[in-house]
Amino acid sequence: MDTPVAIRARRITKCFGDVVALDGVDLDVAQGQIHGLVGPNGAGKTTLLGLLLGLAVADSGSLEILGAPVGRALAPPDGVAGFVDGPGLYPSLTARQNLAALAALRGLDRRSAGIDDTLNEVGLTDVANDRVRGFSLGMRQRLGLAAALLTTPRVLVLDEPSNGLDPAGTKHVHRVLTRLASHGTTVVLSSHRMDDVEALCSEVTIVAAGRAVFSGPLSKLAAENHDLDYRLVTSDPDAARELISAGPGVRLVEEAEAAMRLDAGVLVVRAQTPALDELVARLVTAGIAVRELAPVVSPLEAAFLALTEQEAGQ
């Protein structure tokens, strides 16, 4: 049975005066999926997230969230929560007061609203009674996430949720989002951090100049992508270099090695996945140990750069 669709957008267009922020964007997000939205600055990601949150209405096109069409009135659809451009918090209130105010606004009983649980969930219990004025960016991000979680959303929309977080905080947020998705919550997030997107998202949409230039699983993105640069460390670099030069489908990228100022023993090769597999087999057969083989940039990042540069070129 197909997974129910949480978000379905068709030919969404949104203009601000003469600026076309979104130009016929399609988006499909399955329920319980963590969907990444990536693109360069000004690509239209925030506008798209704003439409999902009901902060704006599209000029044309259709948008359905959780099976219900989104109307023309400015109002967040039922079951949707999140933030764009950073969480909105009141600095003169404490973390707990911010959540309590939100709970009161949403008609939740303050005692049973799960404020303490939510603060605990995002790791802010120790600073629950501190004024938000003194919070770091990462703490604000986590409190923003807590505010979104408080309303038990079925669709969670987050703009740069890892912005300002340290590695532990990032891991923490990832764990929370993964757990939510496993319980059926659909998460749509935008990020400039490709490692975040790759770690969290099963599908991505790449937006460039207001258009969705790719939408689908990360694996499909990697498959569609052509040659990638890989960093290769072996037990015998000179022998490996000779073997690579003599073989088909793989070539040494010496200019990249020079540009990255790598150690003499580190090679950079460019190949598609099948040729790379074959190279590893040949190295092992020749008695050369492969100590490290990793893409110089991730497939997502490479695809992102290729697609967005192509779009910019057009």
Partner 1 sequence: MTSTVAEAAEAPVAGARDAAPRRPSVARGYRFELVKLLCQWRIRVLILVCWIVPAIFVAAVSQQSSLPADTLFGRWMHASGWAGSLVMLGFSGSWALPLLTSVVAGDVISSEDRLGTWRHLLVAVRSPRRIFVAKTLASLTVVLLLVTGLAVSSIGAGLAAIGDHPLVGIDGHLLAPADAAGKVVLAWVCVLAPTLALAALGLIGSIALGRSPIGLLVPALVALAMQLAQMLPLPVAVRLALPGYAFIAWSGLFSSPIQLAPLLISVVVSLVWAVVATALAYLLFLRRDFTNVTHDRSARRAVTAGVLPLAALLAVTVLVLHLSTGATASGIDQGKVQRSIATAFAHLYRLQTKELNRPDVTEAQLRTSASCNRGGGMIASSGAGNDWRCTISWHLPDVGAATGTAIYQLDVSPNGRYIADGDGPQEVNGYFLMRTATGDAPNPLWQFDSVVDLLHSPS
Cβ(225)–Cβ(206) below 8 Å: no
* Smallest gap from residue 93 Cβ to partner 1 (A): 7
Residue from the set 50, 161, 210, 299 that interacts with partner 1 by CB under 8 A: 50
Q: Which of 155, 154, 164 is nearest to 143 (CA)?
A: 164
Residue 133 binds partner 1 (CB under 8 A): no
What b/e sequence results for 8-32 when a residue is b if at least 16 CB atoms lie within 10 Å of its CB, and e otherwise? bbeebebeeeeebbbbebebbbebb
Number of residues that bind partner 1 (CB under 8 A): 64
Cα–Cα distance measured from residue 248 to residue 118, given in angstroms and rounded to the nearest whole number: 56
Tokens 């490709």 label which residue? 194
Residue from the set 39, 40, 82, 210 that interacts with partner 1 by CB under 8 A: 82
Judged by CB under 8 A, which stretch of 167-175, 188-196, 263-271, 302-310 contacts partner 1? 167-175
Residue from the set 3, 41, 112, 285 that interacts with partner 1 by CB under 8 A: 112
Between CA 157 and CA 90, with CA 106 as vertex, the angle to 5 degrees is: 70
Q: x/- site string to partner 1, residues 228 to 267, per CB under 8 A?
A: ----------------------------------------
Residue 129 binds partner 1 (CB under 8 A): no
Cα–Cα distance measured from residue 308 to residue 306, given in angstroms and rounded to the nearest whole number: 6
Residue 281 binds partner 1 (CB under 8 A): no
Residue 21 binds partner 1 (CB under 8 A): yes
Q: Which of residues 22-41 bind partner 1 (CB under 8 A)?
A: none
Residue 53 binds partner 1 (CB under 8 A): yes
Residue 89 binds partner 1 (CB under 8 A): yes
* Tokens matching residue 8: 């379905």
Residue 104 binds partner 1 (CB under 8 A): yes
Residue 190 binds partner 1 (CB under 8 A): no
Cβ(65)–Cβ(155) below 8 Å: yes
What is the radius of gyration, based on Cα positions, of the chain? 23
Angle of helix 95-105 relative to helix 137-150, nearest 10 degrees?
30
Residues 6+ apart with CB under 8 A from 58: 12, 13, 14, 22, 51
Tokens 């600055």 label which residue? 41
Q: Which of 199, 152, 161, 202 is nearest to 180 (CA)?
A: 152
In the bound state with partner 1, the residue whose beta carbon lies nearer, of 65 and 250, is 65
Q: Which of residues 208-227 bind partner 1 (CB under 8 A)?
A: none
Residue from the set 24, 28, 30, 123 that interacts with partner 1 by CB under 8 A: 123
Binding stretches for partner 1 (CB under 8 A) = 16-17, 19, 21, 46-47, 50-51, 53-56, 74-76, 80-93, 101-109, 111-115, 117-118, 120-121, 123-127, 144, 147, 149-152, 168-169, 172, 175-176, 179
